[in-house]
Amino acid sequence: MTDALTGTPPGQDQGRRPGWLLPEAERHRGRVTDLLADLVHTPSLSTDEAAVVERLRAAMVDLGYDEVQVDPLGSVIGRIGDGPVTIVFDSHIDTVDVGSRDEWARDPFEPAILPDAGGGVLHGRGASDDKGGMAAMVHGAALYKELAYDPRVTLYVVGSVQEEACDGLALEHLLTKVLPRPDLVVLGEATRCQVFRGNRGRIEALIRVAGSSCHASAPERGVNPVYGLAPIVEAVRRLNDRLPSGPFLGPGTVALTKIECETPSLNAVPATATLYLDRRLTEGEDPDSALAELRALPEVQAVGATVELLTYEATSFTGIPVRQEKRFATWTTPADHPGVRAGLATGRDALGQELSLGRWVFSTNGVASMGKLGIPTIGFGPGDEVHAHTAHDQCPVDDLVTAVAWYAGFPSRFADTLTATRGPAAEEGGLL
């Protein structure tokens, strides 16, 4: 049963002042910062996440999770509760590589807390993308169990693998083969501690021009495909300038990310030339329409170039082979969805703050949970995505504490909102 005026179960949050969880989350400041530092210190490229998984598994056990397991692809899963309302907290635990070490002011795997603002900022690879979210979720769920536990809720906290290499692959496996279908997925990707509800989809594709190789001393004997590729490069640049812009997700984009040619030697004309593209898809666009658009470019047709979708193939650290086309759906969760409303309400209740709604510029595991599976998805995470994949990767420590409080307060607030949406009869009839 719920309170008739507040929709809150007896004893749940009644009489508590707005922002009540922030001082409680402060008790976790040192431990959540130490966990993030450990995660940053431990390299975890896609398919090589085993050490980070073990660190997270141990943390969940130490914090008193009801159950901790590792799924076949290697994602770590902690469970709290066994109620009918199912929520999945997901943060990916793999990172991109560091790139040129010359860009880094310090060792990317030796976390450093600098007095940049407030309680300091932790720097190191993965701090913003997405180990800060993971550390805060682990401790936020523990605080939820301690102070805000709701018997209506089953909460899963997931550290998913291989996101940087193939968005959504591991989370889709988990949601379709390991866990029951949840009512909501909450992503820990960086949102500056605001509530996000969507991101653009994308494809990774190549355009290849075939030529005829010959000795470079007599180039007229062959056909150099690089010259056929040159006008396509300019066509791609012009295409980016005329792509549509969505009302919420913003403009579609296309970026040339790599060019290569296949040649027998440096004194031979190449046999093929290939460029690689990252194409971001806004509202109204989809992977098939984006591929058709590339194939229709006059410059592509003029030289008989081929356009192909790339495929991701790898083996997880657990030894399981995976394969998936690199097509990722655009997604948004409606602004009036119970999950979105609960996210904003948690800001008022747990943090004493009015939060704003937004969306990610980069891609997230939401391309699988909402984009492919239709499971409502929102996001809340510490840090700012502008630092992702850069030599300035960082997460404010104050953001970690704020996120711990939000994650602790959200499950019960979501159950309240879901109850109010479906009606008290649903709860009394065991439908929640």
How far is residue 414's CA from residue 7's CA, in Å, rounded to a whole number? 11
pTM for the model stands at 0.93
Asked whether residue 176 is domain-assigned, the answer is: yes
Asked whether residue 1 is domain-assigned, the answer is: no
Asked if residue 343 and residue 304 are part of one domain, the reply reads no
User: Domain end: 284, 315, 346, which one?
Assistant: 315
**Residue of 129, 130, 163, 164 with catalytic role:** 163
For residue 384, indicate whether it is catalytic: no
Total Cβ atoms within 10 A of residue 145? 19
Asked if residue 269 and residue 229 are part of one domain, the reply reads yes
Q: Are 359 and 196 in contact (CB under 8 A)?
A: yes
User: Domain end: 290, 315, 340, which one?
Assistant: 315
Q: What is the pLDDT along the chain (432 residues), one digit of tens a residue?
A: 333 223 344 334 545 899 999 999 999 999 999 999 999 999 999 999 999 999 999 999 999 999 999 999 999 999 999 999 999 999 999 999 999 999 999 999 999 999 877 789 999 999 999 999 999 999 999 999 999 999 999 999 999 999 999 999 999 999 999 999 999 999 999 999 999 999 999 999 999 999 999 999 999 999 999 999 999 999 999 999 999 999 999 999 999 999 999 999 999 999 999 999 999 999 999 999 999 999 999 999 999 999 999 999 999 999 999 999 999 999 999 999 999 999 999 999 999 999 999 999 999 999 999 999 999 999 999 999 999 999 999 999 999 999 999 999 999 999 999 988 876 544 544 444
How far is residue 295's CA from residue 5's CA, in Å, rounded to a whole number? 59
Helix axes 50-62, 132-147, angle to 10 degrees: 20
Asked if residue 246 and residue 159 are part of one domain, the reply reads no
Domain of residue 251, CATH code: 3.30.70.360
Domain of residue 123, CATH code: 3.40.630.10
Domain encompassing residue 290: 201-315
Q: H/E element holding 279?
A: strand 272-281
Number of domains in the chain: 2
Asked if residue 136 and residue 160 are part of one domain, the reply reads yes
Q: What is the DSSP string of 178-199?
A: TSPPPSEEEE-S--SSSEEEEE
- SS3 percent helix, strand, coil of the chain, rounded to 5, is 35, 25, 40
User: Domain end: 257, 290, 315, which one?
Assistant: 315
Asked if residue 211 and residue 187 are part of one domain, the reply reads no
Asked if residue 289 and residue 149 are part of one domain, the reply reads no
Distance of CA 167 to the CA centre of its chain: 7
**Residue of 49, 94, 130, 189 with catalytic role:** 94
For residue 94, indicate whether it is catalytic: yes
How far is residue 347's CA from residue 410's CA, in Å, rounded to a whole number? 9
Q: Are 322 and 312 in contact (CB under 8 A)?
A: yes
Asked if residue 175 and residue 285 are part of one domain, the reply reads no
